[in-house]
Amino acid sequence: MKLDQNKTPLLDALQEFKKMRMVPFDVPGHKRGKGNPLLTDFLGEKCLTVDVNSMKSLDNLCHPISVIKDAEEMAANAFGAKSAFFMVNGTTSGVQAMIMSVCKHGEKIIVPRNVHKSVINALILCGAVPIYVNPKTNDELGISLGMTIDEVHDAILKNPDAKAVYVNNPTYFGVCSDLTSITVMAHKYNLKVLVDEAHGTHFYFGKNLPISAMAAGADMAAVSMHKSGGSLTQSSILLCGPDINPHHVRQIINLTQTTSASYLLMSSLDISRKNLALHGQEIFAKVSEYAEYAREEINQIGDYYAFSRELINGREIFDFDVTKLSINTLSLGLAGIEVYDLLRDEYDIQTEFGDVANMLAYISVGDRRSDIERLIGALSEIRRRFKKDKVALFKTEYINPEVVMTPRDAFYSDCVSLPLDDCSGRICTEFVMCYPPGIPILAPGEMITSQIIEYIRYCKDKGCSMTGPEDMEVERLNVLKEE
């Protein structure tokens, strides 16, 4: 039954609360902003008056029985899920809850290696064992692709005791796997299907877009409402299908999610859900139109390649998200991160990220045509001003790692810190990644090679933001201590 998506249970409760003139002897300590005038001046009184603590009239995210429960039910209905959970620790906590809900210590989960760090963090927390499907790469574009049905089937046959299959859909660059076929096959072998849908909120509301996880029959999906859905940063929704016990999932979520949930974040989810349910088709038609227009204009500039559905091959690129404006810069003689930096420093344009070969301009609900024109014009000028000969650029952003230990065993093992150049042949016990997108170059338990060291240095030299290691300068790595 379709619920009335005009309703906003949590927002309405907060509006009623504001009328009550309640005297606060609870937390937060700023007491509706009166105790911190500078903060109130910066954020506004309207914001601070609803930065409140859980109370009877406003429900409690850890154990919702009234308005939060109603708001979550509205979200589940809008997304076509059996149940939904508001997440205020970002999609990271949603990803961790998915994995920890279906996998225990020592149990196997089939995952693509080009996962976000939150996946491997979940494996460290719960002790599940990853069975990696190393994705194919497009060496001309320098991007990793989706999982094929054959690769997943082969992994299941080799690991019949696996508990789940984890799918990135879409990837950061907009690449989609054959999610429906993977789901049908996984269910045939009694495996759950978990989907990282951080960049796919719009799949549920737009037309002519790749299929959503819930429509494909997946068991769980973590959706970043704050990315393409318009809610506040750090707010997310975890969706579950009919064969998942929502009460167990709530217990797992409560292991890691805060007990002091932000009503600013939760109300933004309630409001954004309403907006997308009522206007999403119109919104994402415009987003698609903007992205396609930008893609066409950028490809006419020369040397840039804004790729799209022409890459679809029915296998590792089963479908493509046309709202993703991914731009390859190799023919320009510049790394994607260099174009990213030039756009910010020379033209006051902040794009989502750049790596060694590509940059991503995230187009979503809040963009205007004038912004698109400004981006196109800036890219044209960058080509005129900064174009170089195409030399010495890495052709791949992904190096197949050799997995020697489970992430958990490596992370908690005794380790030593060595200079980067002395780490070849040793087992890494920490992460190394460019952020964004947060896909590890190295994860705990993987063998460090000279090629990986060269790649890390190349990323640093090009200006990528390197994160993960204990050493903030990324000149040393923690490696497994030898006996």
Cα dihedral sign, 28-31-36-40:
positive
pLDDT for the residue 2? 87
pLDDT for the residue 466? 87
Cα separation, 299 vs 199, whole angstroms: 24
Domains of the chain and CATH, by start: 9-58 (no CATH), 62-277 (3.40.640.10), 278-386 (3.90.1150.10), 407-480 (3.90.105.10)
Cα dihedral sign, 451-140-323-183:
negative
- Express each pLDDT in 284-343 by its tens digit: 999 999 999 999 999 999 999 999 999 999 999 999 999 999 999 989 999 999 999 999
Any residues with CB less than 8 A from the CB of 115 and at least 6 apart, and which? 166, 168, 196, 439
Q: Which amino acid is at 131?
A: I
With b meaning 16 or more CB within 10 Å and e meaning fewer, what string describes 259-293? Answer: eebbbbbbbbbbbbbbbbbeebeebbeebbebbbb
pLDDT for the residue 50? 94
Q: Which amino acid is at 447?
A: M
Assign 132 to helix, strand or coil: strand
Tell which residue, 289, 209, 226, 274, has the closest CA to residue 87. Answer: 226
The predicted model scores a pTM of 0.94
Segment 18-43 shows an average pLDDT of 90
Q: Taking all residues of the chain, what is their mean pLDDT, rounded to a whole number?
A: 93
With b meaning 16 or more CB within 10 Å and e meaning fewer, what string describes 7-23? Answer: ebbbbebbeebeeeeee
Given the structure tokens 């109370």, which residue do they identify? Answer: 55
Segment 41-56 shows an average pLDDT of 93
pLDDT for the residue 290? 97
